[in-house]
């Protein structure tokens, strides 16, 4: 349709509209879109690339997040969030948030976090791996503003409609991000934690 250098203006505008409308749960019909996408199947990924992808996904899938590690350790040690909170001097709700992977671990005061992992007797290596996974979970793009995914609720379904709002939002992708929500901050936190745990 388009040569490499000549792009149809109207088609390009329609592509932008399509990409933007997909941000809103109620402006497109993902079921129909998915049917269209799943009809594409005449390019095959090489076995090498496919295996690499599956290996990497497997590593992500099998590693524990800090929340999962915390849950497992609580069961293993037959302890409770209240006891852990007392021993680490962290509030119970922070322990709950950590258990649910709903906060960045590097947002927890480092000495209290060190108290927590020391009390639970978790090695730095295990902590480091799990903290990195929690970081990845929290960094991966949120699909909806809320945790519940309700775009398909029939009562609110608008079908194939693109709202004006979906094309006029002007929110930077970094909106709401705090200082500690970046790799550099995470690395510094882990480095300091390593020092504290080995001192």
Partner 1 sequence: MTEYTDIIDLIDKKDSKGLEELYNVYGSRFYAYAINKWHLSEDEAWDIVYKTLETLVLKLSNYKFESKARFEGFLFKVLVNFLRQYFRAKRSQNEGDIEFVDLNTNDEIPYYISKHIHKNAFAEYYKTEIVENPTLIMLNEALNQLEKPDKELLLLRAQNYSYEEIAVLLKIDNNQLKVKHHRAKQKLLNIINENQNK
Q: Is 174 in the site for partner 1 (CB under 8 A)?
A: no
DSSP string, 75-100: HHTT--HHHHHHHHT--HHHHHHHHT
**Minimum gap (Å) between residue 51 Cβ and partner 1:** 10
Q: How many residues bind partner 1 (CB under 8 A)?
A: 68
Least spacing, CB of residue 156 vs partner 1, in Å: 13
Other CB atoms within a 10 A radius of the CB of residue 90 amount to 20
Q: Please report whether residue 33 would count as binding partner 1 according to CB under 8 A.
A: yes
CB 108 within 8 A of CB 93: no
Per CB under 8 A, the list member of 13, 77, 92, 112 interacting with partner 1 is: 13
Q: Which of 95, 97, 101, 186 binds partner 1 (CB under 8 A)?
A: 101
For residue 87, how many other CB atoms are within 10 A of its CB? 14
What span, in angstroms and rounded, lies between the C-alpha atoms of 27 and 4?
A: 31
Would you say 77 or 143 has its CB closer to partner 1? 143
* Closest of 193, 189, 191 to residue 181, by C-alpha: 189
Which one of 75, 78, 125, 147 is in contact with partner 1 (CB under 8 A)?
147
The reply to whether 22 sits near partner 1 by the rule CB under 8 A is yes
* 81-88 helix and 110-119 helix, angle to the nearest 10 degrees: 130
Rg of the chain taking only CA atoms, in angstroms: 22
Binding site for partner 1 (CB under 8 A): 1-2, 4-20, 22-23, 25, 30-31, 33-45, 49-50, 53-54, 56-58, 60-62, 68, 101, 133, 136-137, 140-141, 143-144, 147, 149, 151-152, 160-162, 164, 167-168, 170, 173
């Amino acid at each position: 349709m388009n040569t490499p250098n000549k792009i149809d203006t109207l088609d390009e505008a329609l592509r932008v509209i399509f990409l933007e409308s997909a941000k809103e749960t109620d402006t497109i019909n993902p079921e129909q879109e998915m049917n269209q996408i799943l009809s594409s199947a005449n390019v095959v990924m090489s076995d090498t690339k496919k295996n690499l992808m599956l290996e990497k996904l497997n590593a992500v899938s099998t590693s524990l997040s800090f929340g999962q590690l915390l849950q497992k350790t609580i069961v293993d040690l037959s302890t409770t969030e209240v006891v852990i909170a007392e021993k680490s001097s962290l509030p119970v709700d922070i322990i709950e948030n950590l258990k649910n992977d709903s906060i960045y671990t590097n947002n927890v005061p480092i000495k209290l976090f060190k108290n927590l992992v020391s009390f639970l007797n978790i090695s730095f290596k295990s902590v480091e791996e799990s903290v990195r996974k929690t970081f990845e979970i929290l960094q991966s793009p949120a699909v909806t503003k809320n945790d519940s995914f309700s775009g398909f609720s029939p009562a609110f379904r608008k079908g194939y409609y693109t709202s004006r709002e979906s094309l006029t939002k002007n929110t930077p992708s970094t909106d709401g991000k705090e200082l500690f929500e970046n790799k550099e901050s995470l690395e510094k936190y882990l480095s300091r934690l390593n020092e504290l745990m080995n001192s």
